Structure 1
Amino acid sequence: MKYTDLLALLALAALCAGCPEDDPTPPLADADIDATGEDAGVDAADTDTEADAEDPVELRIRPDTIRLAEGNDLSIRVYDGFDKLELAEVELTTSDAAIAEVDAEGLVHAVSAGTFEVIARYEGAEARVDGEVVAPRWVDVDVSTRHTCALDATGQLFCAGGFQADGEFEMSPRRTEGKLVALDHEEAFTDIALAFRTVCALDTSGRPWCRGRRLRTADDDGPTVYSNSFALVGTPSEVAFTQLVAGEGHFCALSDAGAVWCWGANFYNQLGDSRLSELPSPVALPGTMASVTAGGWHTCALATTGRTFCWGANRGAQLGRGHQYGPKSPGLIAFDYRFDKLAAGRMHTCGLQGTDVYCWGYNGSYQVGTDRGTIWWEPTHAGTTNVTSVFAAHQSTCALRADGQAICWGQNDQGQLGDDEFLDRQTARPIEGAAFSHLAMSATHSCGLTLDGELRCWGFDAAGSLAVGRQTIFEEPQRVDARGGSVDAGSLHTCRVVDETVECWGSNLQAQFGNGRYNSSSRPTAMTSGWRDVAAGSSTSCGVKDDELFCWGVEYDRELGMDDDFNVVIAPTRNNFTQVPDRLEMTYSSVMVQSGDETYWWGAGHTINDVQAVVEGASASEHQYFGLDAPTVGGEHGCGLRRGSDGVVHCWGEQTLRGDPQQDSSYSHVAYPVDSQARFDALAAGRNHTCGLTTDDKLMCWGRVIPGAGLVETPTEVSSAVTLETLYGGGTYFGCGLDAAGKAYCWGKNFSGALGDGTSQDRAEPTPVAGDLTFRELTLGGNHACGVTTDDEVYCWGDNGYGQLGIGGRLFYAEPQPVVTAP
């Protein structure tokens, strides 16, 4: 039954609710009765026609856009309204079969680069979706605990992690600095596999090549040797391999004749050879196999009959033999299961039967897919279905659906399952934000090739193995997002406006994102569109939309500006500010808005009704009203340049931060002049301080920002070897500025790397931020900072305990890091 038909029946049922049981005819509506009160007499033919009428077909194809790399496949679905159709009833074609094809089961196959349409026809209706086939950037990827290697479409191998700059494959701290680097090799490669400190690859002739840790024979007791160039593995010249896999210390390959050959570590007979020693040359195993997979210290192969053979270590019952003893040569699992594909983890094994996943072996982190039992002796259903492939590593398992959706379960202490938590999963959970054609997994991180040929990685970035340029934990697939826009840093969260859309990241425990939720995020999370400005405070945020001011979050100091009560607002809400905001600034719990020539300020315990249209100023003998130029707001104070005064600074708020210890009032809404003869061009207030640039290019600060000086009550010159052009405030105990070339400098307390100079050392004078970046603007939060570069990229550094750097992890960084986001 169609969804629309169901709605019609429900409506009829509601109409008949008042009918007598012996008369099922619904009561006549007013329109069915003529002016005399008699039945208007609906024509029977008309009734029959209406009953026989069919609802129009509303044909839809999902997904509504398709982008594939050459050679990849994607399953589509076709709907009539909300009803999914059987594809056997639908005619499916593409506009250009030379670019993409679609079969009767809805599988779209990308043939060559170009654009196309998928066309569906059903009962006279037609639907179309646009598609694009692109040349793939990457065709294969594999990972080990501290390495990632990827193969591009030309056969060139790139690796990241424990490689020296010269390409040497080893576990040294001197690595590739988190970047994929090309390894030297003359042959074009088609398949790659990574084991402990070793990478191997197949060339176009099916020959295996390896580099890294040199294997030793049984009588070789010399030191471990590493090779920084590829060497051909000794196999008979007539043998050509089509598949290559790796365990933690061994490799296996499948020949075009179906023979399995293995070499490397053999301490648990994982090579299928009785000699318990490393074997540097491949040994052939008996039987004809269709595929092979290597676990930590065991190996399994799938025969052409679908039967599974396993050998090697068996302490977790991963061989499926009903006991914990391992055979020295390939042996059948003890249970009569027929599988289409296999995947081996460190101490568990999984098989794909049709579209269902079955696993067996050690289940300490739920990698078998059930919460019952530590060891599963025989294959058990993993609770997943409708999948097309399965992958396993260490104590985690993943599978792919026909649409490229990745689902994972098992160990997640390093974020290797690709979700936003660090909890082990006993049931499969999807990886959001990308569709994949292939996955590669290790004990600490995972990578995948997307359907459009991109490379994504997530998990722990040990030794820079994620190839994203920095070492931390990424719970979700990462790529650099080079979108700039305006950005503002709060105490524990950061927001920006890009293409009129507000995006926030970091802490959302007080609903600072304004998305109706309380889930924190270490990557940008989009809100609604139509915004032109945004500011981030401590537990709140505010933004300007349609020339009106909206605020959201949990207020503790009346910073939402709504009324005299304390509010909890989880979505953007219009507050009591009635003017058109021209400039918006927030620091901790203070809010400052400029509208025309007037400055408004509230928060820090004071309601919006306390603040007048212009800030009051006073001399020693009298009070007067005046406007302020270059106003700036701190945690509980604000400052500005008195208009027409040639650079005289006036401040209001907390007495110790107003720059004049002679003022008696502990807190004042009156803006008093600071105790200084200096004249200023620019000001920037932090939570506990203010800094300014004088008309003769000096940097002066007061409050608590100069390390070792305690409370500085009056403007005091800060020694500086650089001339700053622009100042930025908002930091708790630090300040930053830009010189004329856009180079960033910071000074003050260096909590969690807030100064961005690559150290944890406090700085009493401006110190350059690490790197060669040039910025057009900066923003400072509690103990972190962000900047928009002259290339419109956003970089952040400093404290990251809540993900406020927007780089995907929660470790602090003392150098600028590019903000990332899942697509």
Structure 2
Amino acid sequence: MIKRAYCWGANNVGQLGSGSTSQSVSTPTEVALPAQVAVSVISAGLDHACLVTSTFVPMCWGGNAAGQLGINSTTASSQPVGVFNFTAAGIISAGESFSCATLQSTKQLYCWGLNTYGQLGVNNLVSYSVPTKVQSTMSWTEVVCGQSMTCGVAADSTYCWGRNDAGQLGFNSLGANRLMPVLVFGGEYMNRVSAWGRTGCAIKNGTIPVCWGMGSMGQLGNGANPLVTLSPVVVNLPGGKAVAITSSGDHSCATVPDTNQLYCWGSNQAGSLGIGSAAASFNTPEAVDFQPTIMASKNLNTLAAAPESGPLPQVGLVAWGSNTYGQLGQGTYNPPYLNRPAAVRGLWQAYAVSAGSYYSCALVDEEFLHSIFCWGLNNYGQLGIGTANNEFVRTPTRVANGYRYVSAGFRHTCAISSSTDAAYCWGENLSGQIGDGTTTMRTVPTKVTGLAAALTISAGRTHTCAVTSGSLAAYCWGANDYGQLGQGNLIPSSLPIRVTTRLWDEIVAGSYQSCGAVDGGISCWGLNNQGQSGTGLTSQTLTQPTLVVGSTGWRGVSAFGPTACAINSNSKVVCWGRGTEGQIGNGSSNNTSTPLLVDLGTEAVQVSSGGDHVCARTHNDDVYCWGENEYGAIGIATYVSTYNAPRQVGILARDISANYDNTLAV
């Protein structure tokens, strides 16, 4: 399905993009784009709008008196026109009479349009009708344009610039405008920054909703009505956590985890809070009878979109759960969470998947090239595309051809060549987990040193394990602070070292532990603080392989986090270790140091433990998940926090992979 753009409302200067400047339109009207052009990002300003196509082309339309279309003129346009000399954009944002966008390749930030208060960030007050580079060399992962200010996220810190007469820039100062990016909030990490008027809101440290600036109409949401607040204050949301937040300047809205319930506060002029009340304002959040996945607010209006309720995709690669770094491959990281399977863009021929920590990889049988594609967070080069600069790659990107196996870990990835069976790894290497005898980060596939032809390979948190073909010898390398290399000691290694002399069918590297299958059953070793070794022992660490209780004939072990699972000799799923989020799947929320049966009602052929949630595939390819669901990782269209027994997702799959807060299936 091609994602198209629609607009409605005032159209006096062509801001609907329909090709005309007719009267206002009260129903969604399609923007005049060529038939096969899909949209990945769209943003509406005051009387103009901008978008980025799925091929990264930035386009704007509508009013242009201040040059906000970026087309090297001040002539308005009633249909989308390409931004001048800007061939590939990543993200884009339309402000009141100006716009900003990042280059897709370098993530450098450019702005254009009105610059009365320094909102372009170019260290002067000159307005520009063409993209002009912001005075910064950083790579930007977020940008939001307001009425006369701009905020963005770079290097995991938040910066703002422009007008500051109400303290809206958030750097504990009032009155002085800023002509270039200034570090705000004392350097604390904020994202989802929203700052249309003189009040800004954001999410602090991933979950905490905060607002700052003007608060006379209660738009700070903390139960007070101060004229100005120079530092962020916590919004009094139920539960104290938010997944999304937006500020129009006069009113603000946020959604909460679990239910995605919408709350709004501040000015209620024209019913902008959506609560069915005639009261003028509210200084604490009020519940709105709506559970959206995406929302925006400007001036007196609030716009929100509820989750789609149509049929689930039944072919191709799908993903669900957390999308904060673009790891679901949707071409955008907004909405930040998806609680039901959605098709990953452009990978219809994928046949194997591996979910990493905040990124994803897949094998694609594309004209028999057996290609690896990866997407999501790339701060340590874990995508293997030659860069490592905190970029979020929101669509699948080709890594290399000629591979038959891929494993995505925490910040590094490993794969096996389809022609030579040689093992390759890339990404973070601080603990030697790449296996090339160094601790140097690698941004492209790098051959593992001294390892014979590999049968399987598994990338963990900071270590890696593999089984060689033919000899079926197991090797591990990398960090060993909990004995996860299985050597009977805590000495790390940047080169593969053999794990006992036994013959292994499979081996997996987890967060701080490892597990593998041998003729006698499944053995685990490493960290055991939550019973994740499955041995019934209370030792905090096990430095050598130790047999899991009752595991004779078991297979398919999965153990990325502190919860491990496998398929027993009766083709039933068993799990052990941490269970506080219900991930043991037996109806309780208790830890267990010995395996417990999970009742799927049928036989299983695959299980994948992401640590806090688990998914399994049955003999007829049905998918079930259980455990933590705060970000929708269970995939059943809810945000109920946990499920301690399996829930059917409603898709058929031939491969599944769970990791942290998201899931992949194909």
What TM-score, normalized by structure 2, do the two folds share? 0.49
Return the index of the structure with the highest Cα Rg: 1
* TM-score, structure 1 normalization: 0.41
